[in-house]
A and B are shown apart, each in its own frame.
Chain A
Amino acid sequence: MAIPLRDNMLVVKDLRKSFGGVKAVDGVSFDVPRGTITGLIGPNGAGKSTVVNSLSGFHGVDGGSVMFDGTDITNWPSHKVAQRGLIRTFQLARELRSLTVFENMLLASNDQPGQTSWQALFLRKKIRDSERDLLGKAVDLLKRFNLFHVRDEYAGNLSGGQKKLLDLARALMADPRLMLLDEPMAGVNPTLAGQLQEHIRDLKDEKGITFLLIEHNLRIVESLCNHVVVMAEGTILAEGNMSALRENENVVRAYLGG
C-alpha cells in the first residue's frame, strides 16, 4: 500500500506506559500532520491523558519513541520539550493561585530577559521594555478569551471555566508550534466553547499552530478535526475522519455507543 508522504509535526511510535500492573498506554502509534488539528478521542480511562503526559515529558515512558518536528524527544524533561515549542495544557485547570491573571500570562514567555538571577540584577531596563511588549501581547489574548476584565485578579479567584480559559491563553503566550490540549472546553459554557472553537481554528490558520485535541464533545471534534485517532484500553482502535469512524463497528461498540 502506498503511503502518501506527509509532513508530520509529531510521530509517535509504539508508545508504552504502565502504572504498576495497569498498562495505561500499550503500544500506541500515530502521527499529527503539520498544520492540522488532530483529534484524540476515546472512553474514560482509555489512556489519552497518559499519552499527553508521555509526549510532554511529565513521566518517562516504558517503550516507544516520540519525534517532534524531526527531533527525537523521547524521555526529554518537560521543560526542554516546552522550550522546543511543544506546549501542553492540563485536563484539570492548574492555575497559579497567588499570581494574577496578567502574571500567569507573562510567565509563559521563554525568551524574556530577566529570567535568570544575573539578568534580574543587571538588566533592569531591558526587563521593563520586554515586560511592556509582553503585556501588549497578553492584553490581546485576554480580550480574545474574555478574561480582560479579571486581568489583575488572583488566578485562584477565577471560576472553573475561567481557569480553563486562562490555561489556554497562557499556553499561547509561549508561542507554541504544537499544542496538546487535554479537554480545553470541559466546563466552559457552550457559547464560549463555540468561540474557543473558532479561536483554535484561527490560530491554526493564522499562526500555523498544529494541535492535538482531546475532546469528548464529538460535534466539536467533527467540526475542527479532519483526522481523528480513537483510543480504547491503551491501544489505538481506529483512525480517520469522523464520518468514517461513525461507520466503524469497533469504534461504535467501544465509544460511540449504539
Chain B
Amino acid sequence: MLHYLLTLAIFFAFFAVEAWGLNLQFGLTGILDFTYITFVAIGAYFAGVAAMTPSTNGGMGGSYIFGWQLPFPLSPVIGGIAAAMLGVVVGIIGLRRLRSDYLAIVTVSVGQIVWMVIGNATPLFNGWDGIVGVPQPYNSVMNLSTNNYEWPFLGISVIVAAIIFWLVRSLTESPYGRILRAIREDENVAAALGKNVFRYRMSAFVIGAFIAGISGALQIEYIGAWNPSGWTTLETFIVWAAMLVGGRGNNRGMLLGAFLVPVLFTEATRWITIPAHPLLMEAIRGMAIGLLMVLAVRFRPQGVIPERKRVFPLTTIPGLKEDVANGHTAQG
C-alpha cells in the first residue's frame, strides 16, 4: 500500500510538471498545442539515451544513439533542451502566422511525423520496441531495491517540481507573464503597444516544451523504459483535461488538475481490472476523463481554481498614501 501511494505521489509530480508547461503555452499565452505529449516524449528519449550505456547494437538494450552515461541532473537537462529545440522548429513553422488554428494543425502534423519517424527509424531509439534499461538516478551507488528506491526518487521529483513551480510562477507573476496574457486576449493590442508578439509566443512555446521535456525525462528515469505506445493522442488529451479542469492560467490549479485527472482518474484506477474484458477498463477511463472535461467546460469554464485576479493595494503606490489615509480613494 505504501509502495502504491509512493508511486502515485511520484506520478503526481510528473503530471504537475507537465501541466505547468502546457499552462504556460495555452493557459497563459493561448497557444493551441495539440501535440504536447511529443515534447514530453522527446525529453524522455533524449534523457534516456544520455543516461544509458552505449548501445551494443542488437544486444539486450536494442539500438539507440548517444549512450553518454551522463549523471542525473545532466540527463534531464539534455532531454529538456532537445524538447525545446523541437519547440523552436515547430514554432518557426507554426507561430509566424497569427491564426491559432494554423498552429494547431501544424502541431498535430508534426506530432504524427515525429511519432512515425521514431517508430520506424530503429537506430534512433530502438523503434517500436522502444528503449529499456534506463538507469535510475544514483541507484548504481545506492543499490536500492525497486521498492526502497522510491523514497529517494520521490525526493528528486519533488525538488524538480519545486524548481519548475518557481520558474512558472516567476514568469507568470511578472511583466513578461502579463504580456503573455495580453497576447492571449488580443495580439493586436499587444503589438500596438510595442510587444513583439512572435517573439513572446515563441519563447512561451519553447519554455513550455522545455518543461514538457523535463517531465518526460523524470518519467523515463523512473520507469526505465519508453516506447511509442506510451505517447499517443490520449496522453495529450489527458494533460489538456488536467489543465482545463484545474483552471487554465492558474499554476496552483495545475496541481489540482494533475491530481484529479492523471493521478486519480488514470493511475489510481490501474488496479481495477475486468478480467473478461481486458481493454474495457481503458475505454471506460477515457470516457470518464472526457465526461469530466465536458462537465468542467460546461459548469466551470474557468476551471476549478480560476485564474487569479491581480489587485494592486493602493498603499504600495507612491503619492497615494495621504489620499488613502484620508479615505478619499478608499472605495471603488
From B14-22, B62-70, B74-82, B307-315, give the one contacting chain A.
B307-315
The minimal Cβ–Cβ distance linking B96 to chain A, given in whole angstroms, is 12
Asked if A149 and B181 sit within 8 Å, CB to CB, the answer is no
Query: Using a CB–CB distance below 8 Å, which chain A residues touch chain B?
Result: 56-58, 77-79, 82-83, 87-90, 94-100, 102-103, 106-110, 112-117, 119-121, 124, 127, 131-133, 135-136, 139, 148-152, 154, 170-171, 174
Asked if B178 and A121 sit within 8 Å, CB to CB, the answer is no
Asked if A117 and B171 sit within 8 Å, CB to CB, the answer is yes
> CB of B59 within 8 A of chain A?
no
Asked whether A99 and B332 contact (CB < 8 A) given A135-B316, A139-B320, the answer is no
What residues of chain B lie closer than 8 Å to A89, measured between beta carbons?
192
Question: Could you jot down 8 A-B contacts, CB within 8 Å?
Answer: A77-B191, A96-B185, A107-B193, A119-B174, A120-B175, A121-B170, A148-B329, A152-B309
What CA separation (Å) do A222 and B188 show in the bound complex?
A: 31
Asked if A106 and B175 sit within 8 Å, CB to CB, the answer is yes
Asked if B167 and A88 sit within 8 Å, CB to CB, the answer is no
Query: Using a CB–CB distance below 8 Å, which chain B residues touch chain A?
Result: 167, 170-171, 174-179, 181-182, 185-186, 188-197, 203, 207, 307, 309-312, 316-320, 329, 331-332
What residues of chain B lie closer than 8 Å to A112, measured between beta carbons?
175
Asked if A150 and B332 sit within 8 Å, CB to CB, the answer is yes
What residues of chain A lie closer than 8 Å to B312, measured between beta carbons?
102, 135, 151-152
Closest 10 CB pairs of A and B: A120-B174, A82-B194, A149-B332, A114-B175, A120-B176, A96-B185, A78-B191, A83-B194, A110-B194, A136-B318
What CA separation (Å) do A119 and B170 show in the bound complex?
A: 10
Asked if A110 and B193 sit within 8 Å, CB to CB, the answer is yes
Besides A108-B194, A115-B175, A151-B332, 7 new A-B residue pairs in contact (Cβ under 8 A), listed by A number: A87-B192, A100-B309, A106-B175, A121-B171, A136-B320, A151-B312, A152-B332
Asked whether A82 and B317 contact (CB < 8 A) given A135-B312, A148-B329, the answer is no
Asked if A78 and B189 sit within 8 Å, CB to CB, the answer is no
Asked whether A96 and B170 contact (CB < 8 A) given A136-B317, A139-B320, the answer is no
What CA separation (Å) do A113 and B195 show in the bound complex?
A: 14
The minimal Cβ–Cβ distance linking B322 to chain A, given in whole angstroms, is 13
Asked if B176 and A149 sit within 8 Å, CB to CB, the answer is no
Asked if A78 and B192 sit within 8 Å, CB to CB, the answer is yes
Asked if B181 and A96 sit within 8 Å, CB to CB, the answer is yes
The minimal Cβ–Cβ distance linking A152 to chain B, given in whole angstroms, is 5
Asked whether A107 and B179 contact (CB < 8 A) given A78-B191, A79-B196, A152-B312, the answer is yes
Asked if B170 and A79 sit within 8 Å, CB to CB, the answer is no
The minimal Cβ–Cβ distance linking B200 to chain A, given in whole angstroms, is 9
What CA separation (Å) do A80 and B195 show in the bound complex?
A: 8
What CA separation (Å) do A115 and B193 show in the bound complex?
A: 13
What CA separation (Å) do A120 and B318 show in the bound complex?
A: 23
Asked whether A121 and B167 contact (CB < 8 A) given A79-B196, A82-B191, A94-B189, the answer is yes
Asked whether A96 and B182 contact (CB < 8 A) given A82-B192, A120-B176, the answer is yes
What CA separation (Å) do A57 and B174 show in the bound complex?
A: 27
What CA separation (Å) do A151 and B314 show in the bound complex?
A: 10
In the complex, which of the residues A79, A97, A127 contacts B197, with contact meaning CB atoms closer than 8 Å?
A79
What residues of chain B lie closer than 8 Å to A149, measured between beta carbons?
331-332
Asked if B176 and A116 sit within 8 Å, CB to CB, the answer is yes
What CA separation (Å) do A58 and B188 show in the bound complex?
A: 8
What residues of chain B lie closer than 8 Å to A96, measured between beta carbons?
181-182, 185-186, 189
Asked whether A170 and B193 contact (CB < 8 A) given A103-B178, A114-B176, A115-B176, the answer is yes
Asked if B194 and A120 sit within 8 Å, CB to CB, the answer is no
The minimal Cβ–Cβ distance linking B24 to chain A, given in whole angstroms, is 10
Closest to B185 in A: A96
Asked if B319 and A136 sit within 8 Å, CB to CB, the answer is yes
What residues of chain B lie closer than 8 Å to A115, measured between beta carbons?
175-176, 179
Closest to A110 in B: B194
What residues of chain B lie closer than 8 Å to A133, measured between beta carbons?
318
The minimal Cβ–Cβ distance linking A25 to chain B, given in whole angstroms, is 19
What residues of chain A lie closer than 8 Å to B331, measured between beta carbons?
149
In the complex, which of the residues A117, A121, A139 contacts B319, with contact meaning CB atoms closer than 8 Å?
A139
Closest to A78 in B: B191
What CA separation (Å) do A139 and B328 show in the bound complex?
A: 14
What CA separation (Å) do A107 and B178 show in the bound complex?
A: 7
Asked if A124 and B170 sit within 8 Å, CB to CB, the answer is yes
Asked if A88 and B192 sit within 8 Å, CB to CB, the answer is yes
What residues of chain B lie closer than 8 Å to A94, measured between beta carbons?
186, 188-189
What CA separation (Å) do A117 and B307 show in the bound complex?
A: 20
